[in-house]
Amino acid sequence: MNAAVDVFKRNEFQGSSLDALNAWVAEVAALTQPDHIHWCDGSDAENARLTQQMLADGTLLPLNPETHPHSWLHRSSPSDVARVEHLTFVCTPQQEDAGPNNHWMAPAEAHAKMDALFAGCMRGRTLYVIPYCMGPIDSPLSRCGVEITDSPYVVANMRIMTRMGAAALARIGREGTFVKGLHSTGELDPDRRFIMHFPEELTIKSFGSGYGGNALLGKKCHALRIASHQARQEGWLAEHMLIVGIENPQGETHYIAAAFPSACGKTNLAMLIPPEGYRQAGWKVWTIGDDICWMRPGADGRLYAINPEAGFFGVAPGTSDSSNPNALATISHHTIFTNVAVTDDQEPWWEGLDSRTPALDWQGRKYDPANGPAAHPNSRFTVSARQCPSYSAKAEDPQGVPISAIVFGGRRASLVPLVFEARDWTHGVLVGAAMGSETTAAATGAVGVMRRDPMAMKPFCGYNFADYFAHWLSFGQADATLPKTALPKIFHVNWFRKGGDGKFLWPGFGENLRVLEWMIRRVEGKADAVETPIGHLPRAEDINLDGVALSDEAHELLFGFDRAGWQAEFARLGEYLQEFGARTPQALKDEQQRIAARLAG
């Protein structure tokens, strides 16, 4: 049987508007030579059939149907458990367009390398065609894609993470354009594993991995690396940010977009539960998204944002009833768990969940502490965002939500105060470009190594960081479409400042709402701040600290300003900006030098 020909005879979506898609599927089928081709419609019946198929062949394992109904466990290859940044490439015609922040390969060389891997790789397998939409299906901010894969596990995850199926295909038919993503698990051989991005071609090719970030091509590959390129061309922003709504007792909601590197509490902030006093007063928190944010100027000049994803692909370890009860409630049913441990009664388990001892580790072995953690440190859950108790219906608003504030943050044990506000847009872009986190001994063998991660986009920006900074700056230019007065205020936070005893000075978690309240009051012009060379800092009395016991040391370090320390920081920042060469915007360098001069004065 010629699978490619056979599918088009049966393809109910056939039509002239989809000729390009049909031709591409035929081309891929000729290259990969699958036994069968299946066009995914995203229906419940299709998902049920695929689930039963994966349960039958062991791709999925059942979990306790009473405590975790309609939930499954997937165990990946031990050599395939995380993103492979060193094997991830941006393939632009000119290397300088990819920039020093990306691995680069010439497009012709990359296509040849990948096509050699894909040749015949789907013999004996089914080729799945996944039409999907990133963002609400009717939103002008959304963008569509099609992923071709030989993994039913990928199909099941993409169904949760995107708007997948017939409605997405219909939009592709109307628009006539889509991002092309080709994926195969191959043999899961680490030596035959690459993820290639071709921004000018709106194309992704991924081979040799079944792991989420490498295989769910709608996520980091499309929604950030390719979309950031699209955003620059089309005048919007594709960012590694959560989106959260803060509703005050008067019923007014401000939406905040926030970028944090890994291990800095993005999901916890997106699903924040207000402290008791705030809850009693009527404060509410609404979750729009926990990972990716697309922002575009609206008709009124404000930035409007959508979460292009429909689900959460969250890290399981550390998630508990004390750290994030909303997340724990979200994953109590209809969830795919990957590389977690299981208890005797087939419940998913991971470090930080509770005090039980698991029966089997993430590889299916009898649990033995000598083998390391029971759950892989990067174990995951995939779940619909609609299951989150704090989920907002505004997540499906085609126009998006208006952003009042943009927040950058990192894990800094010293120097950086609890919160400060950028003076203006250009200063805010510098704050984002400078952000970073200090590593821990558990991760790197060295404590306090500061790694810069501009806008938390270091692994995900699909083009030269210098051009990326220039694109951000363009929104603040006088002749830009967006009026300066409508731009969100930009803030920086640091929940992780430590005292002399090495302990965190700020309680974090739900108490972070106190800091967000100050930001909102600054947006409304109702809160005071102290002017310093690094920006506007609150005094302790400017933040509602009722019920929070802070030591004298905590007051001094969380709300203080260390001039000498910031002088050294800005000297290092100047050296960092030089790494991006002649393309680095002069306005950014001028801003760094202006602040450095004020610090020296």
- Is pLDDT above 60 for 87? yes
- Is pLDDT above 80 for 2? no
291 is in an annotated binding site: yes
268 is in an annotated binding site: yes
Q: What is the pLDDT of residues 50-81, one digit of tens each?
A: 999 999 999 999 999 999 999 999 999 999 99
Banded model confidence at residue 442, pLDDT cuts 50, 70, 90: very low
Distance CA 112, CA 531 (A): 56
- Is pLDDT above 90 for 437? no
Instruction: Centre a 10 Å sphere on the Cβ of residue 353 and count the other Cβ atoms it contains.
Output: 23
Three-state SS at 313: strand
Distance CA 427, CA 304 (A): 21
Banded model confidence at residue 12, pLDDT cuts 50, 70, 90: very low
Three-state SS at 248: coil
CA-closest candidate to residue 424, choices 478, 499, 360, 384: 478
Three-state SS at 26: helix
439 is in an annotated binding site: no
83 is in an annotated binding site: yes
Distance CA 453, CA 101 (A): 10
Domains of the chain in sequence order: 3-61+87-234 (3.40.449.10), 239-310+393-600 (3.90.228.20), 311-387 (2.170.8.10)
Q: Which two tokens stand for residue 272?
A: 């924040």
Q: Mean pLDDT across the chain, nearest whole number?
A: 94
What pLDDT is recorded for position 5?
A: 37
What pLDDT is recorded for position 83?
A: 84
Distance CA 520, CA 18 (A): 46
What pLDDT is recorded for position 330?
A: 98
46 is in an annotated binding site: no
278 is in an annotated binding site: no
Q: Which two tokens stand for residue 69?
A: 């109904």
What pLDDT is recorded for position 446?
A: 56
Q: Which two tokens stand for residue 103?
A: 């691995």
Calculate the dihedral angle through the C-alpha atoms of 299, 472, 310, 57, rounding to the nearest 10 degrees: 150
- Is pLDDT above 60 for 517? yes
Catalytic (active-site) positions: 264
263 is in an annotated binding site: yes
Question: Which of 4-13, 221-230, 404-413 is the least confident region?
Answer: 4-13
Q: What is the pLDDT of residues 288-323, one digit of tens each?
A: 999 999 999 998 889 999 999 999 999 999 999 999
Mean pLDDT, range 116-127, rounded to an integer: 98
Give the type of residue at 33.
Q
Banded model confidence at residue 16, pLDDT cuts 50, 70, 90: low
Calculate the dihedral angle through the C-alpha atoms of 338, 341, 347, 351, rounding to the nearest 10 degrees: -100
pTM: 0.95
Banded model confidence at residue 262, pLDDT cuts 50, 70, 90: confident
